[in-house]
Amino acid sequence: MNIQSYGFGQIVINGCTYRSDVIIYPDRIDDQWRRREGHLLQVEDLTTVLELVPIILIVGTGQFGAMKVDPDLLENCSKRGIEIRIFKTGRAVKEFNDVSSEKLMIAALHLTC
């Protein structure tokens, strides 16, 4: 997977444009991803991701960093040996594209605020 561009509320991945928050798995994109509380990322929002136990989880917190990450999610990732990298979404996109595709990596990206 390769992210060609990101701007407020829009991302282009492998030539397809998405206008809602996304989870990028190695083999698919979930553009129906919703969080229980819009600007708080919690364990229950990433159940499928955590079950896959990626080596790296990249979180994009929005263009301005409005989405916060619950400390329980950080602890859960730590216990599972998942390295979580948290950035504003523009930086998260760069990080995603820079990380070797040899590693099981998943990205959860908030596209707006």
The CATH number covering residue 101 comes to 3.40.1230.10
pLDDT in tens, 29-81: 999 999 999 899 999 999 999 999 999 999 999 999 999 999 999 999 999 99
CB 89 within 8 A of CB 111: yes
Categorize the per-residue pLDDT at 101 as very low, low, confident or very high, splitting at 50, 70 and 90. Answer: confident
Between the alpha carbon of residue 23 and those of residues 13, 35, 48, 67, the distances in Å are: 11, 11, 10, 15
Instruction: Count the alpha carbons within 13 Å of 93 in the hemisphere toward its beta carbon.
Output: 20
Domain limits for position 29? 3-109
How far is it, in rounded angstroms, from Cα 66 to Cα 101? 28
Distance CA 12, CA 41 (A): 22
Please, are residues 69 and 77 in contact by the beta-carbon 8 Å criterion? Answer: no
Please count the structural domains in the chain: 1
